[in-house]
Structure 1
Amino acid sequence: ELASRAHQQNIVPVVSEAIKRAGIRKEDIDAIAFTRGPGLLGSLLVGTSFAKGLSLSLGVPMLEVNHLHAHVLANFLREPDEEVQHPSFPFLCLLVSGGNSQIILVRSHYDMKVIGQTIDDAAGEAFDKCAKVMGLGYPGGPIVNKLANEGNPKAFQFARPHVGGYDYSFSGLKTSFLYTLRDELALDPDFIEKNKADLCASLQHTVIDILMKKLRQAAKDHGIKEVAVAGGVSANTGLRDAFHDHARRYGWKVYIPKFAYTTDNAAMVAISGYYKYLQGDFCSINAVPFSRITI
């Protein structure tokens, strides 16, 4: 409810400011790209309704964007006058965020197949929930990342669940982390404060190790050397370092979006709409948002 109200309050001034900064008039717009889902339904309703109103008032078509597609296609963004190499098809993309942990086989801009995903918590959820029990605040991912840079990643050992195929599971890791805190706090009430950095470093190391092990296997099995990362957790410096390390060790060609394009952003929606516009893949004014869907 709070997110929906914030969207309602900000959507008009934000779009107005975007048009101003782009140095265009609203009449110069060729189409309206909007996120149809998945996500928070109330917020999506605000965005969808505004997109419909703007589309009708300008007499331009609408382009519906899948939020998960958009994260993957953030790897095709570039700044003006900037030379950036984009992934070649097919490539693998590790999509990691607060709500998703997926390995995606990308055959084209819109031909994507999830070949592995979490069966319970996502990687971002594991960071957030473990940070919460340590009293670090929310969202926990950035805080864990910052403290991990000061700690020893081998200080503590946490469970690494064994799941078949390319699927992930982080609930066992979360439980293992919780039990470690419970047992140690019984012996020393100041355990968390004394070991905060080492706990974060060990947690981050374990999550990244789980993510990269399945990604390595998928790349090997599919004979793919081009590998990208996307989603909010791709801002994690430890995960970025792991990608560069795998590029050296396994001959991967890796693609990592700029920090500004890792979390939810308008540019990734725009690039998704751009490729749909080239195909003439417009959507009906009757389109309704959805909170859940696969890629």
Structure 2
Amino acid sequence: MIVLGIESSCDETAVSIVEDGHHVRSNIVSSQLAKHAPYGGVIPELAAREHLKSIGPVYEQALSEAQLTRDDIDAVSVTYNPGLLPALLVGLTFAKGLAATLDKPFIGISHFLAHVYGSFIGKQDILENSDSYPMIALVVSGGHTALILINEDGSARIVGQTLDDAAGEAFDKAAKILNLPYPGGPVIDKMSKSGNAQAVHFPRGLCPSPGHNVKPENRLNFSFSGVKTALLYHIKGNSDLSKEIVCPEFSESQLADIVASYQEAIVDALITKTFRACNDYDSKTVVVCGGVACNSRLREKMASAAAAAGLELVIAEPKYCTDNAAMIAGLAYYYLKEGQTSKFDLDAVPRLQAFKSVPFTR
């Protein structure tokens, strides 16, 4: 079955064609990074305008690379939640028009759950192995930081999530404070390689520490607002934080130490909570996905922690960590196998929709 997927939830216009859920025939992504970088973040209306310009050519390129015509498409899938509303609407409208024109099934996909599935593209054997369950999946990106429990019968639920900033957002905010380029995550990752991660102590949000206990209900939750505030205090000393932030001049080595220490605090919190969840739910597999899963320090420490715990680790390939449409089309295949499709009155939803199951374990 050949499924075309469309992704436009933020600032990447992506179209992919995937056969039988795992064979990626094409995966085209058009980035708007250069358009948004001057603003230090994504501007929703600008993103939508760029999607409108790009989606047609990206669609044609995806067909060409897959060596297919539109008549070869068996179904059309698209992200409909969560994301930036103006951006979502561009992809959703295009997908509906294409599905109606071709008279093919139409499937709306959760971008959040698609990130989880993206870790398993080309790894079908893990999904089909009953010994892989239960799984704990860490979805970590600019918009989300959450832990999902996935059972062999497909039942799934969030068992922990951020109470404030997402991890990727914390990286971007730090970069802005330190006058580093946008997006902050890749820049901080690269700079940290030459820094001392123990040079500055930053708090590990909602993680127990001497004199600080964590409420039971926050055992698996995250918080990254505190580490951002600690960074502000570090660069401003004891001065008034309500005043305009003016980052002092740091030497290259000082800056490397600061970002390495900041990154270490975020990564440590992610590791601590993830493996605490694995222990609580007797997980056999830990999954790491989303844009922040590209972070080299997170990948390194996840590998070490999984090996020490005797757990199988599944981390998405970098090209499937960041926003892409292969994860959309791949996940849609499993919904189609179950006979689940969407109606054309499906609307874009900016917020994450509640879910109770995933289709790809069965």
Matched, 1:170 2:214: no
Structure 1 partner of 2:237: 183
Distance 1:260 1:116, change over 3 A: same
TM-score w.r.t. the length of structure 2 is 0.77
CA shift at 1:247, angstroms? Answer: 2.1
- Following the alignment from structure 2 to structure 1, what is the Cα–Cα distance between the partners of residues 55 and 292? 25
- Following the alignment from structure 1 to structure 2, what is the Cα–Cα distance between the partners of residues 67 and 125? 17
Matched, 1:254 2:313: yes
Q: Which of 40, 60, 83 is 2:84 aligned to?
A: 40
Helix, strand or coil at the partner of 1:92:
strand
Q: Which of 106, 122, 126 is 1:86 aligned to?
A: 126
Q: Is the 8 A contact 1:76 1:271 kept in 2?
A: no
Match for 1:70: what amino acid? A
Matched, 1:198 2:254: no
Structure 2 partner of 1:239: 298
Distance 1:84 1:30, change over 3 A: closer
Aligned pair count?
A: 290
Helix, strand or coil at the partner of 1:255:
strand
Distance 1:180 1:109, change over 3 A: farther
Structure 1 partner of 2:53: 9
Deviations 1:186-238 (A, max 9, x none): 9x943365511111110111101011111111111111121010000000000
Q: Which of 259, 270, 285 is 2:344 aligned to?
A: 285
Distance 1:189 1:67, change over 3 A: closer
Q: Is the 8 A contact 2:138 2:145 kept in 1?
A: yes
- Following the alignment from structure 2 to structure 1, what is the Cα–Cα distance between the partners of residues 238 and 299? 31
Structure 2 partner of 1:112: 156
Q: Is the 8 A contact 1:185 1:191 kept in 2?
A: no
CA shift at 1:107, angstroms? Answer: 2.3
Identity among equivalent positions (%) equals 40
Helix, strand or coil at the partner of 2:345:
coil
Matched, 1:217 2:289: no
- Following the alignment from structure 2 to structure 1, what is the Cα–Cα distance between the partners of residues 333 and 232? 45
Structure number with higher strand proportion: 2
CA shift at 1:110, angstroms? Answer: 5.7
Structure number with higher helix proportion: 1
User: Structure 2 regions of 5+ residues with no counterpart?
Assistant: 1-44, 207-213, 241-246, 355-362
CA shift at 1:280, angstroms? Answer: 1.1
Q: Is the 8 A contact 2:118 2:289 kept in 1?
A: yes
Q: Which of 184, 193, 197 is 1:140 aligned to?
A: 184
Helix, strand or coil at the partner of 1:282:
coil
Structure 1 partner of 2:105: 61
Structure 1 partner of 2:31: none
CA shift at 1:277, angstroms? Answer: 1.1
Distance 1:85 1:116, change over 3 A: same
TM-score w.r.t. the length of structure 1 is 0.93
Match for 1:287: what amino acid? L
Match for 1:204: what amino acid? Q
Structure 2 partner of 1:276: 335
Distance 1:31 1:206, change over 3 A: same
CA shift at 1:148, angstroms? Answer: 0.6
Q: Is the 8 A contact 1:109 1:275 kept in 2?
A: no
Match for 2:88: what amino acid? L
- Following the alignment from structure 1 to structure 2, what is the Cα–Cα distance between the partners of residues 70 and 25? 25
Match for 1:263: what amino acid? T
Runs of 4+ in 1 over 4 A off after TM superposition: none
CA shift at 1:109, angstroms? Answer: 8.8
Q: Is the 8 A contact 1:95 1:102 kept in 2?
A: yes
Measured on the aligned residues, the alpha-carbon RMSD in Å equals 1.9
- Following the alignment from structure 1 to structure 2, what is the Cα–Cα distance between the partners of residues 178 and 143? 18
Match for 1:6: what amino acid? E
